[in-house]
Amino acid sequence: MEKYYHSVTLDKEKCRGCTNCIKRCPTEAIRVRDGKARIIGERCIDCGECIRVCPYHAKVALTDPLDSIYEFPYRIALPAPTLYGQFKNTDITAILIGLKELGFDDVFEVARGADYVSAFVKEAMKDKERKKPAISSACPAIVRLIQVRFPELIDNIINIESPMEIAARLAKKEFSRKKGVKEEDIGAFFITPCAAKMTSIRNPIGIERSWVDGAISILEIYGPLYNKIANLKNDEDLLQTASPYGILWANSGGESSSLGVDNYLAVDGIQNVIRVLEEIEDDKLTDLEFFEGLACSGGCVGGPLVFENGFVAKNRIRKLAEKAKGEDLSTEEVMYTKEKIQWYFEKEILPKPVMKLDDDITLAMKKMEAIERIYEGLPGLDCGSCGSPSCRTHAEDIVRGYASEMDCVFKLREKVKELAQQMIEISEKIPGGKTNNNE
């Protein structure tokens, strides 16, 4: 199995083994063993759900520190539109200037990248042969969820790069041309609301390598950026180029409404997305044209690495989009960009059959029977005290050799009773061992 980088990791010291996280993981990637959580790497899609639910902050997302930008002679910030919703009474231009004052040589709005992606997707949707509904590729956690849990829907995914990648490519090309410097001397850093984006930089989907060189979390940059914005020295009129549509990509439904499609569904929150994907898989939504699924509640504004309450940020972004200065892209700009950069996936998205029991079908069947047999003997309460998310997963873990039946407290209690009974029976057989009440 391919080696995989994950942004979401466990801080073992902080984990108390409370099992809160195991049931919320959409891919059943967490187990608690010997009092500590463990993430099964092949299953994890870096959705960040476990970061949100852990009461002890033991699940963390690894991102790049702000000073890592100095590894490059030239530095470009790629702010996610979600960043705009983090600051009260602040316009987008002030945020962009603040980023430059933090040490970046240039800023390229990912929302402008989103404008391009909207134009590319609109065109792709005209293809009558395309599988319906077309599924957005914007949220990397959802694309990975499809690889792991819904491989039959891979062909529905729109094979167009994310706004972050498009922004990085355009930003590097433009800066290199303007300043006459080599593209490899330019570092492009995404200001990220989520862990899944960090993972998609290190382990990109559909491309060989990402054009983004690092990701700095909104949480990390918030303080320093807030101070810069409060004391702006520079009053240059930095061009805010993204259109209102591009900015609204931060909110659930933003991408869909930029496409001009009538029959679409925009769903946020990973469990809600799973419910809809199940319906798509069962051919219940064949008349749907477009499906936008976002892992976080409210969309990227609800990411685990943001500072502001997602609902507040969503409202601010809506208001900022109304005042946005950027214009819609012209047909010439879209055509020109298509020729200039790689904008679609160059690699096929492959399924990740991590739930498969065995490559050999006969052995897989045998293992399945064993799982059913063990499962029938378990209490069916899905209490999680064994450290697996459900009784069925516990049965599967036993068959895979990751757990023992005695990890189940009910099974253990039965066993203890049985042993106690045996002890009594043995002691009765020992001469003089039986208690005689008449003696």
Which stretches of the chain bind ligand SF4, using CB under 6 A?
8, 10, 15-21, 25-27, 29-30, 32, 37, 39, 44-50, 54, 56, 58-59
58 vs 111, which CB is nearer to ligand SF4?
58
Cβ atoms of 121 and 275 within 8 Å: the answer is no
Cα–Cα distance measured from residue 15 to residue 121, given in angstroms and rounded to the nearest whole number = 43
Minimum distance from residue 15 beta carbon to ligand SF4 (Å): 3
Closest distance of CB 322 from ligand SF4, Å: 34
Query: What is the edge-to-edge ordering of all strands in the sheet holding 264-268?
Result: 134-135, 290-294, 264-268
**Token pair for residue 239?**
């061009």
Please name the amino acid found at residue 309.
Answer: N
Q: How far is the CB of 270 from ligand SF4 (least distance, A)?
A: 8
- When the beta carbons of 11 and 328 are compared against ligand SF4, the nearer one is 11
- Helix orientation angle between 391-400 and 361-377, rounded to the nearest 10 degrees: 130
Instruction: Output the smallest distance, CB 62 to ligand SF4, in A.
Output: 12
Parallel/antiparallel/unpaired status of strands 264-268 and 290-294:
parallel
Shortest Å distance, C-beta 192 to ligand SF4: 14
Q: What share of the chain is helix, strand, coil (3-state, %, to 5)?
A: 45, 10, 45
Of the two residues 25 and 117, which places its CB atom closer to ligand SF4 in the complex? 25
Please report how close the Cβ of residue 11 comes to ligand SF4 at its closest, in angstroms: 8
Nearer to ligand SF4 among residue 8 and residue 97 (C-beta): 8
**Residue 251: CA count within 13 A, CB half-sphere:** 23
DSSP labels, 35-76? TEEEE-TTT-----HHHHH-TT--EEE----GGGGGGSSEEE
Neighbouring C-beta atoms of residue 17, cutoff 10 Å: 14
Report the residue number, 52 or 367, with the smaller CB distance to ligand SF4. Answer: 52
**Cβ of residue 414: shortest distance to ligand SF4, in angstroms?**
26
Question: Does residue 129 sit in helix, strand or coil?
Answer: coil
Closest approach, Cβ 180 to ligand SF4, in A, equals 42
Our CB check for ligand SF4 shows the closer of 49 and 213 to be: 49
Alpha-carbon distance of 371 to 315, in angstroms, equals 48
Residue among 32 and 320 whose Cβ is closer to ligand SF4: 32
Check: CB of residue 14 under 8 Å from CB of residue 56. Answer: yes
d(CA 303, CA 319): 20
The two three-digit tokens of residue 352, written as one number: 């990740």
CB of 34: closest distance to ligand SF4 in angstroms? 12
> By C-beta, is 19 or 388 nearer to ligand SF4?
19
Residue among 58 and 301 whose Cβ is closer to ligand SF4: 58
- The torsion of the CA quartet 193, 199, 204, 205, rounded to 10 degrees, works out to -80
Give min distance, CB of 145 to ligand SF4, in A: 8
**Sign of CA pseudo-dihedral 170, 173, 178, 184:** positive
Give the residue with the Cβ less far from ligand SF4, 111 or 148.
Answer: 148
**Four-residue CA torsion sign, 242, 213, 135, 333:** positive
